[in-house]
Amino acid sequence: MKPVKVGLLGLGTVGTGVVRIVEGHQEDLASQVGSPIVIEKVLVQDKSKARNISIDPDKLTEDAWDIIRHPDIDVIVEVMGGIGLTKEYILEALSLGKHVVTANKDLMALHGPEILAKAQENRCDVLYEASVAGGIPIIRTLVEGFSSDRINKIMGIVNGTTNFILTKMSQEGASYLDVLKEAQELGYAESDPTSDVEGLDAARKMTILATIGFRANVALEDVSVQGISSVSKEDILYAKRLGYEVKLLGIAERQDDLISVSVQPTMVKQTHPIASVNGVFNAVYVYGEAVGETMFYGAGAGELPTATSIVSDLVAVVKNLKLGVNGKQASLAYKEKKLKTDEQISSKYFLLLKVADRAGVLARITQVFADFEVSLESVLQQPTPSNPEVEIIVITHDANKAAMQKVLAMFESLDVVHEVKSVYRVEG
């Protein structure tokens, strides 16, 4: 049996996991695809560096083109990250008829349509399961499992770092900055945590999921993004008191072929399954017209969970190779993208207001909501001892985003409203 030869771009944490699984599961892999899978060449930054995995030094190279242009390599597995040069490598590999498996969410979120078009042009596969939610097979589920259904909503915790931070704040009453420091010490957060805590990482993943789920080319700039850096202990305390947990959710919705995609801290009812997803775990909730509600839960990152997704994609490519059907997957984005306006985006909202403690204030505030046709589900007034102001908590019924923006603008101009402390979407 002629082996299928693989070129591996990158030997960091995930690349090491890929080598471990491919070399450790040879019998299982060969039984699935009918031939051995061999890692032929591996791109590293420094061949002399000591490694925690045994690998033939002759297989190592510091030049990516040794792999891209290698005549015997059938599949390129890209786990090096980056965008510019990585995109160049992948497009060249596809033009040479090599199939690609990648874990690169940044690349696929920004340049996915171009890469997939090049793959189809050259009858190549590009699979990228590991780019979203680590070991959870969510992309394959959306493409294959929901192929006969129509997805109306995808809602998920797709960033483990922020979920770890919010979980610790909820369970231990710790401050955002204290937990962020702990997350950095544990290696869950980078020294510059901006991509995670400001929601950019989650936004890239939701771009990919929305494109697949709604069959339209959703771009990163189509995603409304808000991070967790302004979430306070007070917000989480109030949320718990009202029966909610605060989670950074990616939410992609479709109604009558109109799409909205956002990433934002959200108050989730404690009875909703996604509210109990804690620590660095991820979960993606999918609403299909036929199947109803489904949830996919698991490790969202890490050496072996992510490597498992990569090797699963590798197996799929090799099976297609044996059947001669590479590059024949249907176009994932064949629908025209139509984005919702702010008037068409609707949800419940939580507001925490600091207002003057005097008669008639509550009536003035509720009148503002009425003026913009926002109905209220509940209003709670919290006196603050030895303070000339009180806190008012409001949860609205479904209200459109444009109306809520007008409400908030009006509060800015009211002398009795001292501060709009917090505003959150409410789910579940």
| End-to-end Cα separation, the chain, in angstroms | 53
> What angle (nearest 5°) sits at the alpha carbon of residue 274, between those of residues 247 and 13?
75
For residue 91, the SS3 value is: helix
pTM exceeds 0.85, yes or no: yes
* 143 within 8 A of 214, measured Cβ to Cβ: no
Query: Quick one: angle between helices 13-24 and 26-33, nearest 10?
Result: 70
- Range 138-299: architecture per CATH: 2-Layer Sandwich (3.30)
For residue 39, what are its two tokens?
């890692």
For residue 296, what are its two tokens?
């996919």
The CATH number fitting domain 346-427, selected from 3.30.360.10, 3.30.70.260, 3.30.2180.10, 3.20.10.10: 3.30.70.260
- Beta strands per DSSP E along 212-321: 223-225, 244-255, 258-269, 281-288, 292-299
Annotated catalytic residue, options 168, 205, 247, 340: 205
Residues 6 or more apart whose CB falls under 8 angstroms from that of 11 comprise 19, 42, 43, 44, 51, 55, 60
Q: What are phi and psi of 137, to 5 degrees?
A: -80, 60
Q: Let me know if 205 is a catalytic residue.
A: yes
* 69 within 8 A of 76, measured Cβ to Cβ: no
Which residues of the chain are under the pLDDT cut of 50?
Answer: none
Residues 6 or more apart whose CB falls under 8 angstroms from that of 184 comprise 190, 191, 193
Residues 6 or more apart whose CB falls under 8 angstroms from that of 261 comprise 206, 207, 210, 218, 222, 223, 224, 250, 251, 252, 253
Domain range annotation of the chain:
4-131+303-323, 138-299, 346-427
For residue 53, the Cα-to-chain-centroid distance in whole angstroms is 30
Neighbour count for residue 7 (Cβ, 10 Å): 27
* 188 within 8 A of 161, measured Cβ to Cβ: yes
Digit-coded pLDDT (tens) for 407-419: 999 999 999 999 9
Q: Indicate the CATH number for domain 4-131+303-323.
A: 3.40.50.720
Within this chain, domains 138-299 and 346-427 share the same CATH topology: no
